[in-house]
Structure 1
Amino acid sequence: MTIISSALPPSPRTAPKALWSSQVLLGPSKALCLLLLLSGQALADWEQQSQDKGVSLWTRQAEAGLVEVRAQCEVVTRLSAFVAIMEDMAAMPDWVAYSSGVERLAKPSSQEDVIHSRFDLPWPARNRDMVTLSRWSQDSDFTLHLKLEDQGQAYPKTKGYVRMEKVEGEWILSPQGGGLVQIRYQGLADPAGWLPHWLVNQIAVKSTAKTLGRLCHRIQGLRYQDSRYPFVTEPPATRTRSEEVKS
């Protein structure tokens, strides 16, 4: 699942390779200063658009006049609850802005899904749809990723919908300690067809803020908190909601 027209800021971890490839070997202090400067320049590309009800949202310019959207919130939750929400496709129209339906087209592996998502957009925009490959992964520090890749070219178009193109996005859940988790979404998509850029960007910002706000409220529900998945490892001392109630 991705959000209409909404690739993370370059990580400073990638910078040292460029630093040491220079013909002049930099000392530790100079290398650190240059690393911080490069990191600051990357973050400066983002412009904060809103901060409301616990959801912060930024945008930056992308190709063809579109904007890339990044939004995040923090909530006390188990990581598996997020997987459970994504698996509950029938309920996605209840919290994903403009969603009119989501279905699984294929399941290449236990951690991959091909998903067809439909969106009923406000006039004068025509309705859109997209097909994406969703892939789960987890880092050694328990950070959970859900990466989205465009698969629209591989499936027939749907009558009454304009097929979105060049869809890319990622959900990142980063444990902060004490059960607190930062949920971040970032992505970009070409809506295709004819739409003025100002309208596309307006829809992108509003839909992302609404979706993330609803998600952070919904994920705390008991029906999701008790879920478990073999490919998700919870941080130490993390308990299900039922275990918390019993204690």
Structure 2
Amino acid sequence: MNGTLRLAILLVASMGICGGAVADDWQLAKNEDGIKVYLKDVPGSKYKSFRGVIDIKADVQTLNDLQENLRVACKWLYACKELRLLKNDGDDTWVYMTLQLPWPVISRDMVIHVNTQRTDNGGLVRSLNAVPGYMPPVQGQIRVPELIGQWTMSPRSNGTTEVIYQMRGEPGGSVPPWLSNSFVVDAPMETLRTLRAVAERQPTRASYP
């Protein structure tokens, strides 16, 4: 795909996205500014999954471009400090990301394998999986050992796009409960809010590609 990236992002969540529907075991944690954030317990983990849902006045291609431009993407991704391409192979991309977390927590890094698929309705699904052994450990960073996530973008008839951002993960090391509880709400809320602000400033496209 011309060397541009197939990207998506960030810590902590679960699979099972089905349009805008939310399964019974997802609990609404926050509904603010047109963004809904749902949380779900993960068996065997002390960290919750999150799912953020928003409608954005932009088409799928615009949102795709904002994810594939890593320099721009790191600006709207919550807690992102660095985001760079490691490898691109068709629908598959490997990216390296570092997260700047509040003191005194040591920052985290991760390698994410991203697979991108177009849907029949002109939408986009990006699946994310951490591959911690892809590259050697980096001094001063704690490698995220587990991450499973997904971005789903579904065009609506009114010209907007429904965006669902969902994740589950294990951050590695020790994370205070106050931070983990805050992160699973703040990450989708702030990421989607900032993405919307950036996307809705972009020039309007005449049609989907």
TM-score (norm 1): 0.74
Q: Which has the higher helix share?
A: 1
* 1:4 and 2:25 are equivalent in the alignment: no
In the aligned structure 2, how far is the partner of 1:135 from the partner of 1:239? 20
Q: What CA deviation, in whole Å up to 9, does each residue of 1:74-112 have, x standing for no partner? A: 012121111211121112332111111100001122x22
Alpha-carbon contact 2:13-2:167 (below 8 Å) kept: yes
Question: How much does 1:69 deviate?
Answer: 0.2
Pairwise mapping of residues 1-247 of structure 1 onto structure 2 (< 5 A)?
1-9=8-16, 43-62=23-42, 63-109=44-90, 111-222=91-202, 238=207
Is this contact kept in 2: 1:3–1:208, CA < 8 A? no
Task: State the identity as a percent.
Answer: 19
Structure 2 match to 1:15: none
Bigger radius of gyration = 1
Q: CA offset at residue 67 of structure 1?
A: 0.2
Q: Within 1, Cα distance between the matches of 2:16 and 2:177?
A: 23
In structure 2, C-alpha distance between the alignment counterparts of 1:122 and 1:198, rounded to whole Å: 11
CA contact (8 A) 2:12 2:148 kept: no
If asked which structure has higher relative contact order (CA below 8 Å, sep 6+), I would say 2
Q: Which runs of 4+ in 1 moved over 6 A?
A: none
Asked whether the 8 Å contact 1:71–1:209 carries over to 2, the reply is yes
Aligned partners of 1:54 and 1:239: how far apart in 2? Answer: 24
Structure 2 spans left out of the alignment, 5+ residues: 1-7
CA distance in 2, matches of 1:198, 1:5: 15
**Secondary structure of 1:203's partner?**
helix
Alignment partners' CA distance in 2, 1:114 and 1:3: 13
CA separation in 2, counterparts of 1:64 and 1:7? 12
RMSD (Å) for aligned C-alpha atoms: 2.3
Native 8 Å contact 1:137 1:145 kept in 2:
yes
